[in-house]
Amino acid sequence: MADSRCLYRHGFLRIGTGVPRGRVADPAFALAEHLALARSAEARGIGVLLFPELGLSSYAIDDLLFQDALLDRVETAIAELVAASRALFPVLVVGAPLRHEGALYNCAVVIHRGVLLGVVPKSYPPNYREFYERRHFAPGLGTSGAIAVAGEDVPFGTDLLFRAEGEVPFTFHVEICEDLWVPLPPSTRGALAGAEVLLNLSASNITIGKARHRRLLCASHSARCLAAYAYSAAGPGESTTDLAWDGQAAIFENGECLGESARFPDGPTLLAADIDLERLRQERMRTTTFGECMREEGAGDFRRIGFTLGAPPAPAPLERLIARFPYVPDDPERLAEDCYEAYNIQVQGLAQRLSSSGVRRAVIGVSGGLDSTQALLVAVRAMERLGRPRSDILAYTLPGFATSDATRANAWALIETLGVTGGEIDIRPAARQMLADLGHPFAGGEPVYDVTFENVQAGLRTDYLFRLANQQGGLVVGTGDLSELGLGWCTYGVGDHMSHYNVNASVPKTLIQHLIRFVAASGDVSAATARALEAVLATEISPELVPAEAGATIQSTQQVVGPYALQDFNLYYLTRYGLRPSRIAYLALQAWGDASRGAWPANIPAEDRRAYSRAEIRHWLKLFLKRFFANQFKRSALPNGPKITSGGSLSPRGDWRAPSDAGAQVWLDELDANFPDEG
């Protein structure tokens, strides 16, 4: 069993793309360079190492490819590489010209632990513009059988898949250069047949703009195939008689570039990336059209070549950076784009609902906190889009027993600077009456602040808003967010759980602060409103339902349900990918275990740029699991609201459908078994 610190224990595979130095038509030199990179890959814990097309002979050598002396030496180099591989961990995928049944083929040779596993010929040798491969090579498309290489017969054909069994199971497919550039790359059927990893040995000379096109092809193909795609191109030492080479190596996963080498290197290059195999499998399982395409189009009749890849000689810690905030990109440009889209999705949703319902006014409770602020901003823009006055927004503050002067001031500053119709209803008299009618100890003067005390206030606020909507011909705009729904941190029914339309329903708490900053900096609000928004952003997240004792801090939501940064992380990976809790905890430790590792999204306060220990991650994940499963009944009865993020929503009509009777024990047991306390 792999060490628990090792990425191979947790559903990851480290693959590498090597660009060795070349020397024209010198297989002995090529062999030495390939082995040097293979040994470096061994030291880095790389499980699969990809090399360029025709790397053992050189690519641009024209009619030298017909020279028996060269072809014989290439086979000798393969035999020496096979022998040397006995002591190496990685699977090696190298390029070589090989003779077979009177023809020459441009081949990928797959080697592992002293075994030549198989040979895959290039399906589509190009014969246009600068390419003249059909002069030398036969097309490999449709070939199947065996080939004699270095004195042994091995599987040969374009129908090969390579399947790692045992501790690190995965399947990979191999294609060569031009195969990716055709309308239906061979790796498409390889992916449909189960290959999660697609490898491309390429030479690919460089011209202006070609590198960008390669990235586009690799990224889009990995996204379409829900796969990892690794690419390696010829680099220094290749013949420059009529062409030039940039040595571009890159690795993609489901459309995302995990790494790209520096181009035009002077020496050898080794690029590595950690592929999340379990995430790819989850995506394929959830994307039912992937399987339907396989059944309709046919994956082809592949031969599966089995081998065993165990753990590397030394534990390989995960090198892949796991984003701390899966809903909030750390790239400023991407964050700005996400905020623009999220805000406008909310606005469009509310505007359409107001228009289609024929309701004139929007009614919203404004607390001075994050959620209601964002909902109010959305309502203002929706009214503008409909050509209606802001005065048609009826914004009410509803102070209770624990409402602070600061949040009340925030609420009124927003109401006044945004120019909406404001009002205030003190809910304390009605709350006292209800508590007295219930015989609650608080009505007799006792400081009992239980769930009844809290929910009487939360329920009255919502009740007032609905009755105001009845009276004013309005629609109640909900404010509760995705994070609160995931944790069940909402009062069911007549409480913040309910509204006529909830614009925040699939917006996580960690994103809302950035949406507010986006609006504040957009230039669409006045300077006074921007100052009010900054004040809201600086306010502690609190339901403000329990009075604070003299000198004590106000009621803190995150002290009860956990840090939203961690809980949003847990929510994302549980609902979006269905990961087992131990793996969520492992990823959380990679993301949050070291505050100095990786980038932080813009505007995260310095005091929030902290690390969390293994024990803290376990504690809050266990709480999350208990609350998430215990509160499904609330999510089964949600009002309408637009889906915002690719991370999904919890609407019973959308991304998340689950029984209200399920318990968390299976998930808690899995966490305890596979991510135990350190002590």
Residues annotated as part of the active site: 53, 122, 177
Q: What is the dihedral of CA 150, 156, 160, 164, to 10 degrees?
A: -20
- The sign one gets for the Cα dihedral 379, 383, 389, 393 is negative
303-308 and 160-165 strand pairing: parallel
The annotation places the binding site for L-glutamine at: 128, 204, 210
Q: In what helix (H) or strand (E) does residue 37 lie, and over which residues does it extend?
A: helix 27-43
Q: What is the dihedral of CA 447, 450, 456, 459, to 10 degrees?
A: 140
Half-sphere exposure in the Cβ direction for 637 (13 Å, CA): 14
The annotation places the binding site for deamido-NAD(+) at: 455, 484, 489-492, 634
Half-sphere exposure in the Cβ direction for 221 (13 Å, CA): 31
The annotation places the binding site for ATP at: 365-372, 479
The annotation places the binding site at: 128, 204, 210, 365-372, 455, 479, 484, 489-492, 634
Neighbours of 70 (CB within 10 A): 18
Q: What gap in Å lies between CA 640 and CA 645, rounded to an integer?
A: 16
The residues near 494 (Cβ < 8 Å, ≥ 6 apart) are 459, 462, 463, 466
In single-letter form, the type of residue at position 311 comes to A
Q: Which residues pair with 398 in a beta bridge?
A: none
Q: What gap in Å lies between CA 472 and CA 584, rounded to an integer?
A: 47
Q: What gap in Å lies between CA 112 and CA 92, rounded to an integer?
A: 6
Measured in degrees and rounded to the nearest 5, phi and psi for residue 129 equal 45, -120
CB contact at 8 A, 573 and 589: no
Neighbours of 355 (CB within 10 A): 13
Q: What gap in Å lies between CA 502 and CA 378, rounded to an integer?
A: 11
Could you tell me the CA-to-CA distances from 122 to 48, 53, 203, 224 in Å, in that order? 20, 10, 12, 22
